Structure formats: structure tokens, C-alpha cells
């Protein structure tokens, strides 16, 4: 929906069309690089966030962690975005040879662009991650603090449901703020299959002038449906594992 905003009428139409044209497998295109991206991104993100919290203010911690996470996120995001848009790229005639596996996409990038090709869209990824994770962690900590104040307990003792809600709220704030930048990033990473793609600012202005503001938010609905349970579970897993490890090592 981000790459071809006029092709589908909405979330349900895109879902049904993908299922009819490609089958159930089409709805899971890019799962492997997405899993790799999430594991790598969150490992680096929370590690840096934890370290930086001990040294500087939370604001600086979020910025530093976001830049670091972008370096591991960009290559896997590139492969994922290309896999997910491969059917539409082939159907529209923009490419003649489609690649349907992670390895075939990786080989194609290496053959055409070399190792540097995996970092197409890095600037846009950093531009997305820094303000995004400022809102992500900021909204999470604010929401957790409000729950702790209301329940008259420490932030670590608010329970499962408040943690899940706080994580979901943080994720919703992140995507509402950075979604246009994510749309530009996806466009750059997918369309670079056809040749050299313009940078962040030129791509942003091209979408804005030719397709309008609405195109920058194409696909927001499924993203918001996904983000609340996904980030609620993410923070619940983070807080639970952190507590277990702190108890285990008597920290």
C-alpha cells in the first residue's frame, strides 16, 4: 500500500487481492527478514537504551539507540520491502525478473549494487528512527508513570495489563509521528530495484506533489492495528526478561 497507494482501495481490498493473486503465502512474504530485523533491531535498541540511561538523560539515550538500531535495521528492511512488493512490481512491468526468496533478493542486491546496496534508504531510516523512538520510549515511560501514580506503586510493579497498554500506546505514538517517513523509506527501497532512486527529500516532495498528502499515509490502518498488540507484547517481554535477569544476577 505504501509503494502503490493507488492500486488498492484500502486495507481490506489489499488483503483480499493479495490472497487471491498470490495465496496465503503472499501475506507472509518477507517474514524471514522481518523476524531478523526485529530480533536485531530490538536487541541493539534496548541494549543501547539501557546503557545510555545510566550515563545521560533519557532523551539522549533514545537518540543514540535509534541511530545504532538503524544500522542493523536498514539491510533487513530493504530485503523485506522488496519481497513484499515483488508481485506488484512485476505486474506493473517495472521489473522483468521477480525474486521470491530472501536469498535471491540478497544475491540480486549484491550483484547489482554491492554491499553498499543494502544501505539504500539508510538516511530515511535514521530520520524515522530518531524522532520515532523519542516518541516510543517517551510515551511508554509517561504512560507507565501515570499508571504508577494512579496505583500508588513503583513503575516496575504496575502489572501486566498496564505494561501492555503502555507499550501499545508508545507504539501508536511512534507510527503516528513517523509514518510519512516510513512510506518514503519503503518507496526508495522498493523502487531502487528499477535503478538509482532519488534521496529522501526529493522522493518526499515527488510523492507530495504528484500524489498528495494522503499517499504518505497509505497503509496506516493495518500498521495501527498491528502496532498495539505487537508493542504491548514487546515491552511485556522486555520488562519480564529484565526483571528475571536482575533477580538472577542480584542487580
Are 144 and 241 in a shared domain?
Answer: yes
More confident residue, 115 or 222: 222
Residue 165's pLDDT is 95
Residue 86 in this model has a pLDDT that exceeds 80: no
- Of 120, 151, 175, the residue at which a domain comes to its end is 120
- Of 80, 103, 120, the residue at which a domain comes to its end is 120
Are 135 and 116 in a shared domain?
Answer: no
Q: pTM of the full predicted structure? A: 0.72
Are 112 and 69 in a shared domain?
Answer: yes
Q: Is residue 81 part of a domain?
A: yes
Average pLDDT, the chain: 82
Residues 159 and 157: their CA atoms lie apart, in Å, by 6
- Per-residue pLDDT of 18-74, as tens digits, reads 899 888 888 888 888 888 878 888 888 888 777 766 765 555 554 555 566 666 677
Residue 249's pLDDT is 79
What is the pLDDT averaged over residues 186-196? Answer: 77
Residue 98's pLDDT is 65
Are 78 and 57 in a shared domain?
Answer: yes
Q: Is residue 25 part of a domain?
A: no
Residue 226 in this model has a pLDDT that exceeds 80: yes
Residue 167 in this model has a pLDDT that exceeds 80: yes
Residue 85 in this model has a pLDDT that exceeds 80: no
Q: Which domain holds residue 194?
A: 129-246
Residue 16's pLDDT is 92
What is the pLDDT averaged over residues 81-103? Answer: 71
Are 139 and 91 in a shared domain?
Answer: no
What is the pLDDT averaged over residues 75-81? Answer: 76
Q: Is residue 58 part of a domain?
A: yes
- Per-residue pLDDT of 126-152, as tens digits, reads 778 788 888 888 899 899 999 999 999
Residues 109 and 99: their CA atoms lie apart, in Å, by 11
What is the pLDDT averaged over residues 2-12? Answer: 85
Number of domains in the chain: 2
Query: What percentage of residues in the chain have a pLDDT greater than 70?
Result: 85
What is the pLDDT averaged over residues 182-199? Answer: 79
Amino acid at each position: 500500500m505504501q509503494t502503490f497507494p493507488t492500486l488498492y482501495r484500502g486495507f481490506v481490498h489489499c488483503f483480499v487481492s493479495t490472497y487471491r493473486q498470490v495465496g496465503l503465502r503472499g501475506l507472509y512474504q518477507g517474514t524471514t527478514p522481518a523476524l531478523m530485523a526485529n530480533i536485531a533491531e530490538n536487541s541493539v535498541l534496548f541494549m543501547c537504551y539501557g546503557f545510555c540511561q545510566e550515563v545521560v538523560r533519557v532523551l539522549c539515550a533514545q537518540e543514540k539507540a535509534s541511530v545504532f538500531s538503524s544500522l542493523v535495521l536498514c539491510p533487513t528492511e530493504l530485503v523485506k520491502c522488496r519481497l513484499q512488493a515483488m508481485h506488484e512490481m512485476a505486474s506493473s512491468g517495472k521489473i522483468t525478473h521477480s525474486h521470491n526468496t530472501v536469498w535471491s533478493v540478497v544475491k540480486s542486491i549484491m550483484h547489482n549494487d554491492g554491499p553498499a546496496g543494502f544501505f539504500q534508504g539508510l538516511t530515511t531510516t535514521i530520520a524515522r528512527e530518531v524522532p520515532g523512538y523519542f516518541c516510543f520510549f517517551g510515551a511508554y515511560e509517561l504512560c507507565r508513570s501515570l499508571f504508577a501514580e494512579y496505583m500508588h506503586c513503583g513503575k516496575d510493579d504496575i502489572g501486566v495489563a498496564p505494561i501492555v497498554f503502555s507499550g501499545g500506546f508508545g507504539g501508536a505514538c511512534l507510527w503516528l509521528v513517523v509514518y510519512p517517513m516510513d512510506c518514503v523509506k519503503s518507496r526508495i527501497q522498493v523502487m531502487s530495484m528499477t535503478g538509482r532512486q532519488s534521496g529522501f527529500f526529493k522522493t518526499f516532495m515527488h510523492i507530495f506533489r504528484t500524489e498528495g498528502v494522503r499517499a504518505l499515509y497509505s497503509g496506516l490502518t493495518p500498521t495501527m492495528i498491528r502496532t498495539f498488540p505487537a508493542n504491548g507484547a514487546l515491552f511485556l517481554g522486555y520488562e519480564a526478561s529484565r526483571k528475571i535477569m536482575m533477580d538472577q544476577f542480584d542487580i
